[in-house]
Structure 1
Amino acid sequence: MRKLSVIAAALATGTLAALAVTPAQAAESGSALKVRGVQYDAPGSDSNSCTTGNTAAEYLTIKNYSTTATVNLKGYVVRDAVGNSFTFTNNHYLQPGDFVKLRGGKGTESDASNVAYRGSCNFIWNNDRDTIYLKTPSGAIADSHSYTKSGSDADGNGYVTFHG
C-alpha cells in the first residue's frame, strides 16, 4: 500500500514523469564519449579495394569530452542503422579532450596517432543517410546521431559535425 501512495503522490506532482525520463537522458548525457563527427562520404569515387580504394578516408571521430577522466575504448561498439558494427577489442585510452578517428580499411591502431581501423575495406556509413550508435561495453547507448546528406551536410563535403 505504501508503494501505491508514493506512486500516486509522484503522479500528482509530476515527479514520476520526470523519473521516467531520467534514465534515457542519463544514458547519453552521462557519457564522456561522444561522436564528434563523421566523414560519411569519402572523397573521390567509392572503391572497396584494400590496395587502391578509399575506405580509409571514411571515418568517425569519437572524442572524450571529460575534463578529468581518461576513458578506455576497449569493449565500446560503433554500429550503423542496419547493424554493421565495430568493437574496440584493444585498449585505446582517450585522455580528457582526446579523440580517435575510427577509419575504414586496414592499418595499425595507435594511441599516439589517434587512429583505429575497422579492419574491413567495406564502407560502413551510407552516403545518403544513416544512424550512428556508440555503445558502452555494457550495451548502453553512449551517443547516437542520424544524418541525411540533404539535411545535415550544408556544404556537401561528406562530413557532418555533431559535437564541437
Structure 2
Amino acid sequence: MLRTRTAAAAVTVAALGGLLALPSPAQAAGSVHLYKVYYDSPGTDRGANSSLNAEYVVIRNTTGSAVSLKGWTLTDAANHKYTFGTYTLGKGKTVTVHTGKGTNTAAHRYQNRAWYVWNNDKDTATLKKANGAKVDTCSYNSTRHDYKMC
C-alpha cells in the first residue's frame, strides 16, 4: 500500500510540475494589443503635419499568425475614431497609426486629421474589433513624459 501511495504521489507531482511548466493558452497564443502611445509630439502644437504625425499609437501582434484588422477601431476618450480599412497585421509585427496625413504602408497608417487627437496630459486609447468587442485599452495621466508604454 505504501508503494502505491508513493507512486501515486510521484505521478501527481510530475503531472503538476508539467502543468506548471506549460504556458497558459493565452500566453502561448499571444495577442494584438496597444504597445505605445506617443501623445505629446515634440515642439509647439501648431498643427503642422510633421507634428501631427509625431503623435501616434503603436499596435503590436504577438500571436503566431497574421491578423486582419479590417473594421477594427482605435479611439481616444473623446471618441475620435480611426477605423482600419482592409489591412492585415503580420505575425510578430507592429503598425504605427499616425494622427496626420500620409501614405499608408504595411508599417504605418494615417488618420488624415488636421488637428491632434491625443491629449498631452491624460487620455485613454481603446482598440476594438470590428464587432465592437474591446481588445485593449491604455490610459495615461502625466505631463512628465511624452509617451506611455502599454
| Both structures adopt the same fold (TM-score exceeding 0.5) | yes
- Decide whether the 8 Å contact of 1:60 with 1:102 is kept in 2: yes
The equivalent of 1:65 in structure 2 is: 62
TM-fit CA distance, 1:96: 1.2
- Please tell me the residue identity of whatever aligns with 2:39: Y
Cα distance in 2 between the residues matched to 1:43 and 1:73:
29
TM-score normalised per structure 2 = 0.76
TM-fit CA distance, 1:70: 0.6
Matched, 1:104 2:99: yes
Aligned residues: 122
TM-fit CA distance, 1:95: 1.3
**CA deviations over 1:34-56 (Å, ceiling 9, x no partner):** 00011000011112244xx5101
Identity %: 34
Cα distance in 2 between the residues matched to 1:56 and 1:95:
22
Cα distance in 2 between the residues matched to 1:125 and 1:54:
12
Structure 1 portions without partners, runs of 5+: 1-29, 151-155
Structure 1 or 2, whichever has the larger Rg, is 2
> Counterpart of 1:105 in 2: which secondary structure?
coil
| Structure-2 change in CA distance of 1:123 and 1:31 (3 Å) | farther
Cα distance in 2 between the residues matched to 1:139 and 1:31:
20
TM-fit CA distance, 1:31: 7.6
Matched, 1:45 2:38: no
TM-score normalised per structure 1 = 0.70
- Decide whether the 8 Å contact of 1:31 with 1:142 is kept in 2: no
Runs of 4+ in 1 over 4 A off after TM superposition: none
Cα distance in 2 between the residues matched to 1:88 and 1:47:
27
> Counterpart of 1:54 in 2: which secondary structure?
helix
